Amino acid sequence: MPNDSTSGRSWQARLSARPADLTVAYGESLSVDYRLYEQDIAGSIAHATMLREVGLISDGELGAIRDGLAAIRDEIAAGTFVFDLAQEDIHMAVETALIERTGDAGRKLHTARSRNDQVALDLRLWLRDRTDQMLALVTDLQRALLDQADRHAGVLMPAYTHLQRAQPLELAAYLLAFVEMLDRDAGRFADARRRINVCPLGAGAVAGTTLPIDRARTAELLGFEAIAASSIDAISERDVAAEFLFCCTITALHLSRWAEDGILHASGEFGFLVIDDAYCTSSSMMPQKRNPDLLELMRGKSAAVLGQLVGLLGLIKGLPLAYNRDLQEDKRLLFAAADTVGDSLRVAAAVVRHSRYDAERTGSAAGGGYSDATALAEYLVGKGVPFRRAHQIVGELVAAAEREGKPLAAMPLSALKAACPQIDKDVFEHLGAVNVVARYRSLGAAGGAPLVEQLARWRERLE
């Protein structure tokens, strides 16, 4: 009966010396992977159920294992289970506790199983859970953005390119741009889920087993759609984990872009966005500040997620087949990235719900910076002027208007006509942000009828 702190290590019999303290401290993953206890126990119960069905354990043994594992799960959930880092990882911690409680029944649990396929299984179950969670969080943020668009109907804002005002748009169109990005993010998570949802259990250490196990049965019990077809690949690869982490990274970068815009919009110079005080902080020394800290943190944390992706990809690179202990480090990276991106999605949705745009500031900016120049060039195209000539004419008109410090709509018709005889007084129905936005016609455009269509489509999809 194990009664010392190293008893959890399964390989004790083989090695003639006790592990050095440093070996234990450097090698243990329990302080990280204890989070997998639910997955580990669910996997073990499915495995034991199958072992019973193929005759490798008895009914009584299955009962003892099932009850023992359920009790351990409850204790861990309640915080009463005592972990010992010398047990290395959650898998050995649980199994050791089970053996202490059930004796030989517990000693049979690991039949036809290795830590290699057990780890791979737990990781897949965790990835599946977190993918589903990401999908829900992405949808929630999309809904928050759509609601925000609805709350700001008719609000105008400049579209920026090169951080210069380019064309006027309706704020709703700006917000839907993020809804679209998030939609691709969700699509990627959904695609990753198909590759995640493949059961590695039964691959054993690397080559499978000579025992008559039923992999289809455990896969079914655990809700998997498919079974990993190669035992070697099943225990040695982390590409689906990397894919999940990439999905997290792209989502984090989208949030970083959204945060960057929010930080700009909340600055005194833009003055577009007012975030509720409950979602701001101030300064320890400068009491007047209302800082968009949450957005800055979101932007900063996205870099850490990118770093975690690099960590995992760098770890995989150049590893010989099959399992190498390097892979143990995957979990620290995955857990951190999933936590960060999950939290960031929640925070983003909260900020969206607790902030508002200042329609006066955004509207005024939308009309500035000659953002109707493109529409004027298109007006000239409608009058038969080749686009490149129209572009040149408008360029000169803008330069002239800028010299006079006037918007295009304030230029006298005579001056406009002098630049291009095709210009007529109907030109004033084409100038100014309100006119421009109302005239957008192309599918997907940032205002007018095309925007109404986009909003309707998203309301339907997200209702």
Residue closer to a second copy by CB (options 74, 215) is 215
> Which of the residues 5, 31, 58, 283 is marked catalytic?
283
> Cβ 461 to a second copy, closest distance in Å?
11
Is the Cβ of residue 74 or residue 202 nearer to a second copy in the bound state?
202
30 sits near a second copy (criterion: CB under 8 A): no
Between 129 and 343, CB nearer to a second copy: 343
Cβ atoms 376, 426 nearer than 8 A: no
**Contact status: 276 vs a second copy (CB under 8 A):** yes
Q: Which of 311, 363, 367, 432 binds a second copy (CB under 8 A)?
A: 311
Interface positions, 392-431, toward a second copy (CB under 8 A): 392, 394-396, 398-399, 402, 430
CB nearer a second copy, residue 42 or residue 88? 88
**Catalytic annotation on 283?**
yes
Cα–chain center distance at 351: 17
Site for a second copy in 359-398 (CB under 8 A): 365, 368-371, 373-375, 377-379, 381-382, 386-389, 391-392, 394-396, 398
Kindly report the three-state secondary structure assignment for every residue of the chain: CCCCCCCCCCCCCCCCCCCCHHHHHHHCCHHHHHHHHHHHHHHHHHHHHHHHHCCCCCHHHHHHHHHHHHHHHHHHHHCCCCCCHHHCCHHHHHHHHHHHHHCHHHHHCCCCCCHHHHHHHHHHHHHHHHHHHHHHHHHHHHHHHHHHHHHCCCCEEEEEECCEEEEEEEHHHHHHHHHHHHHHHHHHHHHHHHHHCEECCCCCCCCCCCCCCCHHHHHHHCCCCEECCCHHHHHHCCHHHHHHHHHHHHHHHHHHHHHHHHHHHHCCCCCCEEECHHHCECCCCCCCCCECHHHHHHHHHHHHHHHHHHHHHHHHCCCCCCCCHHHHHHHHHHHHHHHHHHHHHHHHHHHHHCEEECHHHHHHHHHCCCCCHHHHHHHHHHCCCCHHHHHHHHHHHHHHHHHHCCCHHHCCHHHHHHHCCCCCHHHHHCCCHHHHHHHCCCCCCCCHHHHHHHHHHHHHHHC
CB of 370 to a second copy, least distance (A): 3
Task: Examine residue 434 and tell whether it contacts a second copy (CB under 8 A).
Answer: no
Of residues 16, 162, 284, 414, which has the active-site annotation? Answer: 162
Q: Of 18, 77, 136, 410, which one interacts with a second copy (CB under 8 A)?
A: 18
Number of residues that bind a second copy (CB under 8 A): 202
Q: State the minimum distance, in angstroms, from the CB of residue 112 to a second copy.
A: 7
Contact assessment for residue 156 and residue 357, using Cβ atoms and an 8 Å cutoff:
no
Number of residues that make up the chain: 463
In the bound state with a second copy, the residue whose beta carbon lies nearer, of 316 and 338, is 316
Q: Is 38 a binder of a second copy (CB under 8 A)?
A: no
140 belongs to the binding site for a second copy (CB under 8 A)? no
Q: 125 vs 158, which CB is nearer to a second copy?
A: 158
For residues 320 and 412, which CB has a smaller minimum distance to a second copy in the complex? 320
Ranges within 210-229 binding a second copy (CB under 8 A): 210-213, 215-216, 227-229
Active site residue 162: yes
Q: Does 8 bind a second copy (CB under 8 A)?
A: no
- For the CB of residue 238, give the shortest distance to a second copy in the complex, in Å: 10
445 touches a second copy (CB under 8 A): yes
Say how far apart CA 355 and CA 351 lie, in whole Å.
6
Map residues 190-209 to x or -, x wherever contact with a second copy holds by CB under 8 A: -x--xx------xxxxxxxx
Q: Is 142 in the site for a second copy (CB under 8 A)?
A: no
Cβ proximity to a second copy: between 42 and 192 the closer is 192
One of 34, 81, 83, 270 touching a second copy (CB under 8 A): 270
Kindly identify the residues of this chain, within the stretch 62-91, that bind a second copy according to CB under 8 A: none
173 cis-preceded (ω within 30 degrees of 0): no
Shortest Å distance, C-beta 35 to a second copy: 16
The set of catalytic residues is 162, 283
